[in-house]
Structure 1
Amino acid sequence: MPVITYTMNHTLVLTVDGELNNDMVEEIRPIIDALIQKHTDVLVDISAVGFIDAAGIGSLIYLYKQLQNNGRRMRLICKQGQPRDLLSILHIDRTITCYSSIRDFLADLSAEKSVSELRSHVSLAI
């Protein structure tokens, strides 16, 4: 199966390889449902996906909405190419943060943590 899940910095990572089409969505549906039941944010790495269709887009939106309804976040890693172009055309990348690499995601996560720590120090001082 061209799907891997692991945890990194308190975030569940779902890595998909190949095409994110109807067949793949059917194959990974149980994994997506399991991710929704967890209590962490989710990073979906589709950087190795060369093609995404309506079923793939639908599965990403479904996962995003379910996580958001439970107070969690979903972000994407998506390199240049057809999947990123389609996410842009549909304006999905305006709602779901898309990174070019895991390195970019980790840098953003580190920056968020620094801002959060700074805010807690400021609020303690007040």
Structure 2
Amino acid sequence: MDKVNDIALTLQHEFDAHAAKELESTLEELSQTERQDIIIDLTEVSFIDSCGIGAIVFLYKRLKSRGRSLRLLNVNGQPRQLLNMLRIDKVIPLISSAEI
């Protein structure tokens, strides 16, 4: 599979409760696609809250139960600090553009 085609979702600005609710059906669809690897591009995300984290973990669990994987691209600033603090980076790989 062409690695560029692995990026399934690009988020921007804030990934908070409102954004997570708006993306609920999209995340559900992603968990059921035929792609092996799902990459969420967080390059433009400046803030993430517990609902955003919950949405990512929900997708990760759905994918893992189907033998698939999730990676998070270009996580920086507050989102990276929170993912590191919660140790989510130990389970869901945080990658850079050079790694895709």
> How does the TM-score come out when normalised to structure 1?
0.72
Matched position secondary structure for 2:75: coil
1:18 aligns with 2:34: no
Match of 2:50 in 1: 54
Number of matched residues? Answer: 98
Matched position secondary structure for 1:57: helix
Determine which structure has more spread, i.e. the larger CA radius of gyration: 1
Name the % identity: 35
- Find the aligned partners of 2:93 and 2:51 in 1 and give their Cα distance: 20
Q: What one-letter code is carried by the residue in structure 1 that aligns with 2:51?
A: A
Deviation at 1:8, TM superposition (A): 5.1
> How does the TM-score come out when normalised to structure 2?
0.90
Deviations 1:1-21 (A, max 9, x none): xxxxxx953524210001000
Matched position secondary structure for 2:23: helix
* RMSD value, Cα: 1.6
Match of 2:99 in 1: 105
**Runs of at least 5 residues in structure 1 that lack an aligned partner in the other structure:** 1-6, 107-126
**1:1-126 matches, cutoff 5 A:** 9=3, 11-40=6-35, 41-99=37-95, 101-102=96-97, 104-106=98-100
| Higher RCO (CA 8 Å, separation ≥ 6 residues) | 2
